[in-house]
Structure 1
């Protein structure tokens, strides 16, 4: 889950022919890699609705593999630039992380949020409202994709809140291509829709990211 690469979560494989249904273009367990603009074109457009949303409908920070470390700590361990010491009960001390939203180094895990790249409320708006509670729990604790969850500074994450890219982008310009690729990959992975303003903004951003490619694996 390192955020140090130029385009974390984006693949550098050669692009494969597009498919009208991206779920049918899997190759080696992954969907065909496409340029960012093409990948955005795979997203289904639909109106959003937040009716019935409650954050508690997404169960957070579970310990699916029963190793003593919940999802938050698993992300911190995976993304650490300098590994923290792991004590009893998965208590983490020391370590350092690079928050790619604001390009800052953080040396205190308590000053990091684990951000759902596509926020829970946004996921609800764009398809998760129809899911089972179990499916929403899987989404909220998605460790199966490197870029669905990222460790970032408190400030930009709190400013982001539930906003989509039409309303918020990372303050560091160098994070733009990474963030848009992460967003698109997460939405494709979970078959979430986009609204008109969101799609327009994503395509505007993609125009400045000609070498960025997106590969995603459909959520099980």
Structure 2
């Protein structure tokens, strides 16, 4: 093999690697462009390490950090809330492939298996490879594989508690289910966790919150 031939193969391999890097950067740029910037309070996101998390602040700071809460058993260090950079989060509307949607999420989809098709139909990701979209004319479940599905939009509300509601008394605070978010104007939100309320850098209970009327921004985890 001549030196020119070797050099050509090296350049071709370098060009291939550069093209892969370019595609990765383009994909990352497109993903970041889709990230919401404002009105983050009460929104679901997914963290690669912590799974599903709830954002407990209105927007990220100038460096991209925001406060998140865990709907499950807290974080590995035992905390129920922590800071994370928004770059580490993926929001439902950023998902573009059916196989990337977590099991249990509901989406509006189109689907076509070559014989039957549906359009603009609510469906739930039942398993890693299967979607269920209600019953067909025979009373059987409409089941679709990932490769047969086209995603339209996630059916996850940004703010599940749309009806104006306030709580003031100890009993009213205590009656809110875990995952609820309350706040008064100008105040950081409080997230309801087992036997306590969590705010950025603080925890409290129903007794301490009582006496101040706060709006219910989310009732429960919104699942």
Is the TM-score greater than 0.5? no
Give the alignment's TM-score, normalised by structure 2: 0.23
Give the alignment's TM-score, normalised by structure 1: 0.24
Computing the radius of gyration from Cα coordinates, the structure with the larger value is 2
Q: Which gives a bigger RCO, structure 1 or 2 (Cα 8 Å, sep 6+)?
A: 1
More helix as a share of residues: 1
